[in-house]
Structure 1
Amino acid sequence: MRRAAASHTAPTWTRPTTLGQHRMSATPPVSVVIPAFNHARYVAAAIDSVLAQGFADLELLVVDDASSDGTADVVTAIADARLRLARHDANRGAHATLNEAIAASRGKFVAVLNSDDLFEPDRLATMVEAAGAAADGMFLAFSDVGFIDAAGLPADADRRAADYRRLRARCIVQPAALWFLAGNPAVSSSNLFFSRALFERVGGFAPLRYTHDWDWAARAAACCEPVWIRNTLLRYRVHPSNTLGENDAWRHIHENSYLQSAVLMRATQEGNGQGAADAALDALLGNDSLHPLSLLCFLVLRLRGIGDADLLALATTADGNWLLQSIAERTALPAGQFRSIAELSATIRTVTEQAAMLDDRWKAMRHMDREIADRDRWIEDLNERLGTLARDVAERNQRIESLQADVADLRARLTADEDELAALHASRLVRLALGAGRMLRTIGLGHRDPRLREH
């Protein structure tokens, strides 16, 4: 069933030029629609990638969603009769812009391209050829995706490119009916190529800011089995202003759980048995965008009879009053419990790594404690030995001081003895001299020496 679109005045479509070497038929088989908003830097390259297609019988409709950077002026400067442009006075969002452009298009098939992405030259020819096998007119296809940066260079190292490679590998072993339960393998609305008959059956894009393309592809896949072209026919540009890079957590949570609950409910109607259930669980639990607790809440609401339109309103509130946030506050649940399985798994890995790090540190601390204890015992033993040595030194010093005192005493005594001996020697010499003088006088020799006559 087609979703009702908001009421707006229909825009005026203009053709920048009627010139150009390519001419389209009265009813071109392919219509390419480009919703553009503030992509003056990229929109010319996006348009050129369409107009340079090997499949040239196409019309290109660009809707400028009230850009403020001159995007419409860039489009107007491109000369090709296949190009038409419409402008909005106020921003209406990607979903409304897409619905409006598709409604104004005429092709049997519709291809979407965002104004910052690029088609590979053989994309449309490959898609049209694949669509030839759709006997009932119901056709949906997308291709492999290459990632480029703002400068147009490969961005294979970007996180989103790595996420895509993991999802692609998981989907290879999943049935096509579960691809959009496992994630969004189309990545972007730029990768959607579908028949007008399918669009009319499925209805327009829902007013979801982040998941309007994923939601529409999942609904379309329930009507016909999608075709996945395993060639890179789209270049998806990653840059800071990508919508998916916005940090509006509660909106992401509500939109993802709204569409995943819808896909699960459809899956229960399409397959029965343990095998089908296992496949659905495998697909769902491998989805990095799965928010387990919020998905449970949306499933409960659906099972309690809350209609899709009401649930969509809950997932697209404009006043910031989010249902799940109020539930968290009412039940005193930490808001973190509503995070995605990828975020929860990352938290668990971080906690596990930190626990292992703490355990290693605890073991290191215990080892250090043992080393410190051994060192303390060594220091204590050393202190005891130093104490003993100090006592020995003190005793030795006392003995040295005593010996020094004894030496000093001996020196004093020796000096005294030397003085006494000197005195004794002096007295003896005097007596000997006197005695000698008398003897000389006695023998008559004293008169020759005056000194002897005095005595």
Structure 2
Amino acid sequence: MLPKITVFMAAYNSENYISDSIKSILEQSFSDFELLIVNDGSTDQTVAVIEKFNDPRIRLVHNDKNRGLTYTRNVALTEARGEYIAILDSDDIAIKNRLELQYNFFRQHPEYALCGGHGVFINQRAELTNNSDLIVPVGAEKIKMTLLFENTFVNSSVMYKTSIYKELNGYQDYAPAEDYELFIRIAEKYPVWNLDQILVKYRIHENNISSLREEIAKLKLKAIKSEQLNYLGIPDHESFGNILFSILICDYKRYQFSDYHQLFLQIKSANRKLRKYPVREFEEMLFEKWFTIIYQKKAKMNALALLFNRDLFNWSYLNMRQLRKTFKLSLKGFGRLSK
């Protein structure tokens, strides 16, 4: 009898942490799963650590050599037996009832294709850190809108339907941002969700893939931003994609207010035409992003004029936090002028 869930774990030189990851799955409150571990040509003791576990639900598959993350994740296209695929990276830890919570969600909401949740940071010793928790957006429309600006899922928390994963032909060549790109493609066709609960402990250590491949990640993320704008039919999507990327990484120094203003007008117009996102809610989100740019770039004397820009402003979008902070920026500008 086939398992309900395939828990997928890619492993490359994971000897220090994979034991904790495996234990967190074997001790789940939901037991109808297989744990599919794909060894991507590890050269340390990763395989030896895995083989110490004597549990028939574990299936260990070996790549013929080190193939990289995208290839390794796509082994699930042919090997996953479950109706659902749950991702857990080989250095992270799933909370005890994670699979049960997500399986129950899909049973109650069969129209959804993808379900994730919040996370907390742990250090190399699996201790909670002082970092803020990994809190992701909740609500189908909010998640979908926010995906345009940032990844709205903790990868090690996600579970998705195997049939849809195969329909979309799995991960594409965007590693180490291949998960974000897949989530975008899923959300373009199907409703997605995040449970308002912590599902995973995300480990921070010196060998995190995102740290080792930061420059490659930037290039891939820029390509993702460009493709998102191309999907909206926005001309010059590559140049605008770079501006959208600067919002993703919260680096507003390179571009001027006029650049962001032009990008937002293009996005606003495209969405009104295509109705990809609910118009009012999306334009309120655009206004919030516009406020963030004003504040982060320290507009000062021009702050209020920029905030009340007629192309983006609506009285119903404005809140006291935005108004107060913008007013303080303006006062600083006038204070400097009077000195």
TM bracket (short chain): 0.5 to 0.7
**Helix, strand or coil: the match of 1:182?**
coil
Q: Distance in 1 between matches of 2:157 and 2:3?
A: 20
* CA drift at 1:244: 1.0
Given the alignment, which residue of 33, 52, 64 partners 1:77? 52
Aligned to 1:54: 29
Given the alignment, which residue of 64, 72, 75 partners 2:39? 64
Aligned to 2:195: 229
- Tell me if 1:100 matches 2:71: no
Moved more, 220-229 or 201-210: 201-210
* Partner amino acid, structure 1, of 2:221: N
* CA drift at 1:261: 2.2
Q: Distance in 2 between matches of 1:242 and 1:128?
A: 28
Q: Distance in 2 between matches of 1:265 and 1:175?
A: 21
**8 Å CA contact 1:53, 1:124 repeated in 2:** yes
Assess, with a 3 A threshold, how the Cα gap between structure 1 residues 174 and 131 changes in structure 2: closer, same or farther.
closer
- Tell me if 1:143 matches 2:109: no
Q: Distance in 1 between matches of 2:182 and 2:140?
A: 23
Q: How does 1:423-434 map onto structure 2 within 5 Å?
A: none
* CA drift at 1:69: 1.4
* CA drift at 1:175: 2.3
Q: How does 1:178-197 map onto structure 2 within 5 Å?
A: 178-188=145-155, 190-197=156-163
Aligned to 2:284: none
Q: Which runs of 5+ in 2 are unaligned?
A: 235-243, 264-289, 299-331
Q: Distance in 1 between matches of 2:59 and 2:140?
A: 42
Identity of matched residues, %: 23
Given the alignment, which residue of 63, 68, 93 partners 1:88? 63
**8 Å CA contact 1:181, 1:287 repeated in 2:** no
Assess, with a 3 A threshold, how the Cα gap between structure 1 residues 154 and 267 changes in structure 2: closer, same or farther.
farther
TM, length-normalised to structure 1? 0.52
Q: How many equivalent residue pairs?
A: 265
Query: Cα deviations across residues 95-116 of structure 1 (Å, max 9, x unaligned)?
Result: 1111113420110001111100
**8 Å CA contact 2:41, 2:63 repeated in 1:** yes
* Partner amino acid, structure 2, of 1:237: R
Q: Distance in 2 between matches of 1:46 and 1:239?
A: 15
* CA drift at 1:119: 0.7
Query: Cα deviations across residues 73-108 of structure 1 (Å, max 9, x unaligned)?
Result: 100110101001122342111111111134201100
- Tell me if 1:256 matches 2:221: yes
**8 Å CA contact 2:10, 2:72 repeated in 1:** yes
- Tell me if 1:113 matches 2:88: yes
Moved more, 179-188 or 106-115: 179-188
RMSD (CA atoms): 3.7
**8 Å CA contact 1:55, 1:124 repeated in 2:** yes
**Helix, strand or coil: the match of 2:119?**
strand
Assess, with a 3 A threshold, how the Cα gap between structure 1 residues 346 and 247 changes in structure 2: closer, same or farther.
farther
* CA drift at 1:257: 1.6
Assess, with a 3 A threshold, how the Cα gap between structure 1 residues 133 and 244 changes in structure 2: closer, same or farther.
same
Q: How does 1:443-454 map onto structure 2 within 5 Å?
A: none
* CA drift at 1:347: 9.9
- Tell me if 1:287 matches 2:248: yes
Q: Distance in 1 between matches of 2:158 and 2:36?
A: 15
Q: For the pair shown, which has the larger CA radius of gyration, 1 or 2?
A: 1
Q: How does 1:8-407 map onto structure 2 within 5 Å?
A: 26-136=1-111, 139-157=113-131, 161=132, 164-165=134-135, 168=136, 175-188=142-155, 190-246=156-212, 248-249=214-215, 251-267=216-232, 287-288=248-249
Q: Distance in 2 between matches of 1:202 and 1:185?
A: 19
**8 Å CA contact 2:93, 2:200 repeated in 1:** yes
**Helix, strand or coil: the match of 2:248?**
coil
* CA drift at 1:67: 1.0
**Helix, strand or coil: the match of 1:222?**
helix
Q: Distance in 2 between matches of 1:122 and 1:29?
A: 15
Query: Cα deviations across residues 379-419 of structure 1 (Å, max 9, x unaligned)?
Result: xxxxxxxxxxxxxxxxxxxxxxxxxxxxxxxxxxxxxxxxx
Q: Distance in 2 between matches of 1:262 and 1:43?
A: 35
Q: Which runs of 5+ in 1 are unaligned?
A: 1-25, 270-282, 300-340, 350-355, 364-455
Of Structure 1 and Structure 2, the greater helix share is in: 1
Q: Distance in 1 between matches of 2:128 and 2:81?
A: 34
Q: Distance in 1 between matches of 2:47 and 2:214?
A: 28
* Partner amino acid, structure 2, of 1:78: F
**8 Å CA contact 1:65, 1:97 repeated in 2:** yes
* CA drift at 1:266: 3.3
TM, length-normalised to structure 2? 0.68
**Helix, strand or coil: the match of 2:148?**
helix
Assess, with a 3 A threshold, how the Cα gap between structure 1 residues 60 and 237 changes in structure 2: closer, same or farther.
same
* Partner amino acid, structure 1, of 2:59: R
Assess, with a 3 A threshold, how the Cα gap between structure 1 residues 135 and 209 changes in structure 2: closer, same or farther.
closer
Aligned to 1:303: none
